[in-house]
Structure 1
Amino acid sequence: MQLGETARGLVDLSRAGNAVAAGVLTATGAFVASPSLTHLGTQWLPVVAAVVATLSATGAGNAINDYFDRDIDRINRPDRPIPRGAVSPRGTLAFSAVLFGLAVVGTLLVPRPAQLIAVVNLLALVAYTKLFKGLPGVGNLVVGYLTGSTFLFGGAAVGNISGAVVLFLLAGVATVTREIVKDVEDVAGDREEGLRTLPIAVGERPALWVGVAIMTAAVLASAYPFLAGAFGVAYLLVVIPADLVMLGASVAAFRDPGLGQRRLKHGMYLAAVAFVVGRSAALLGGVA
């Protein structure tokens, strides 16, 4: 029974769902940035390595974040593995080290630009909780960059970082908004721990309005691939509902931050689907 609880605790530490989603986003970045399906096929090894590295690094980062946040989580998230006793702090560190090791192995198999992105991301993951999380807005920007960079990493794996830049920016901004909403959820524990998150520094409602403002900017920017002629109507048919979900979620966060941040995540994934649809249409028959 104890072994099963520990295994479940390790899965929870890694946030397996989020880690898999990050891997899918890296694969999405590779697909969107690849100039052709033939080119994508020739780059299957670095793409697979990039996905494995992203999966492992995301899980490791989540675990190390739980290690440093174990005191805060006793207030904000008592059901997480360390507070509930499923995994010890020492076991968490060991698990994180194994996952970081897998991420390093995957990184060795990708092109040099992708390796540079991986090194920056690994350093940011390790430093996030201790150095950035408690700084108003800075921690949100770091997480936004890390999420958006999964697309850049995928693009770099196929040798075309520029092809994933717009998706990187949109995902990053959406994630910053979601992180602000999550900070509003966690105000009690963060204040107890002495952190200076954005809602604590400026107030909860002003922080949420910041989220609405930057989300609005991201929604407006999402029209760029269509206006630039990169994607056609198929892209618009998916990205517009995604935009509406994310804008609605930003407003809903004023009433229910938990609901708002969950819907923001769903909207971001739907936006990623829009890029896949747009790129598929362009590859199969030209922009339509």
Structure 2
Amino acid sequence: MTVSYTLQRRRYPEPAAALRLLKPITWFPPMWAYLCGVVSVGVSPLENLWLVGLGILLAGPIVCGMSQAANDWCDRHVDAINQPERPIPSGRVPGQWGLYIALGMSALSLLVGLALGPWGFAATCAAVAAAWAYSAEPVRLKKSGWWGPGLVGLCYEGLPWFTGAAVLSAGLPDWRIITIAMLYAIGAHGIMTLNDFKALKGDRQTGVNSLPVTLGPARAALVACAVMTLSQIGVIFLLLGWDRPYFALAITALLGLQIWAMTILIRDPRAKAPWYNGTGVALYVTGMMVAAFALRGLV
């Protein structure tokens, strides 16, 4: 019996393929951002371990996993061109199962969000709505190289940070926390733009106007680097203004290393984007935690 014939007859998802559909590698950024929110608010996490743990679980495996499943379902025609080995186009997640998984996890997200109180539930509702607005027609903000990455950056970095701070403080976080979270969310627009390089061929054929498609790889890489750099410069100047010079210096050093990595990235953006995601992005998120500790002492 051939592999293709086996896939055609499959009625239920292959377990490993279903897990891959949720893309565990993508869970880290929102989990990390939620933890940054917890740290920044100044409340001891040890006194609220279940809120910290549940929030991290919600931000990563549940909400982020749901968004990945929704995106893969809505992108199945694009993935058939770019990455036919993915779970849905390969047939390892057959029929409508990709949709069922995404809808089921959307419901699970809202249910778990209820346990985090009104602020946590409101943020979860926003995250679920954003995930579907990004991927699904007729909205499908993914078609825009500006709105799509902006929305994902907000949901990957800004919204989880805000949620962690709001849940632990049981209220609206301090304006300085919101400001820093938003700056890092804006900077994440550049990270999301770099992720679009891998889908360049399929995006062109299916009308997804990512920045690599509309601007070309070279200019898109420059825009991504500029957005990431300027957002962190904003963080540095704010921390200096708030009398946190050592934290500002640490983020400056991290940004300097990122700029070095950017010089390598822009030489060949299509080939070096995955490399930068493993180096420059790690430095970026390290700076987020440095800023969170700076806010902890300030707030």
Alignment match, 2:198: 185
Give the CA RMSD over aligned residues. Answer: 3.0
CA 250–173 in structure 1, closer or farther in 2 if over 3 Å, else same: farther
1:244 aligned to which of 248, 256, 262: 256
Question: Does 2:30 correspond to 1:18?
Answer: no
2:241 aligned to which of 207, 222, 228: 228
Quote how far apart the aligned CAs of 1:166 are. Answer: 4.3
Whether contact under 8 Å (1:144, 1:174) holds in the other structure is yes
Measured in 2, the distance between the counterparts of 1:125 and 1:282 equals: 29
Alignment match, 1:82: 88
Measured in 2, the distance between the counterparts of 1:83 and 1:64 equals: 14
Structure 2: gaps (5+ residues): none
Question: Residues 36-83 of structure 1: CA distance to partner in whole angstroms, max 9, x if unpaired?
Answer: 42xx33333333332222120100100110011111112222232112
Whether contact under 8 Å (2:13, 2:94) holds in the other structure is no
Alignment match, 1:52: 57
CA 181–97 in structure 1, closer or farther in 2 if over 3 Å, else same: same
The aligned amino acid for 1:47 is V
TM-score (norm 2): 0.81
Alignment match, 2:108: 102
SS at 1:161 equivalent: coil
Quote how far apart the aligned CAs of 1:161 are. Answer: 2.6
Alignment match, 2:163: 153
Structure 1: gaps (5+ residues): none
SS at 1:107 equivalent: helix
Question: Residues 230-277 of structure 1: CA distance to partner in whole angstroms, max 9, x if unpaired?
Answer: 64525633x234313433444433313353355246434444434545
Alignment match, 1:200: 213
SS at 1:133 equivalent: helix
Measured in 1, the distance between the counterparts of 2:248 and 2:210 equals: 36
Alignment match, 1:135: 144
Alignment match, 1:175: 188
Measured in 1, the distance between the counterparts of 2:164 and 2:109 equals: 14
2:265 aligned to which of 253, 259, 280: 253
SS at 2:84 equivalent: coil
TM-score (norm 1): 0.83
More displaced stretch, 100-109 vs 269-278:
269-278
1:219 aligned to which of 215, 228, 232: 232
CA 116–65 in structure 1, closer or farther in 2 if over 3 Å, else same: same
Whether contact under 8 Å (2:200, 2:212) holds in the other structure is yes
CA 210–193 in structure 1, closer or farther in 2 if over 3 Å, else same: same
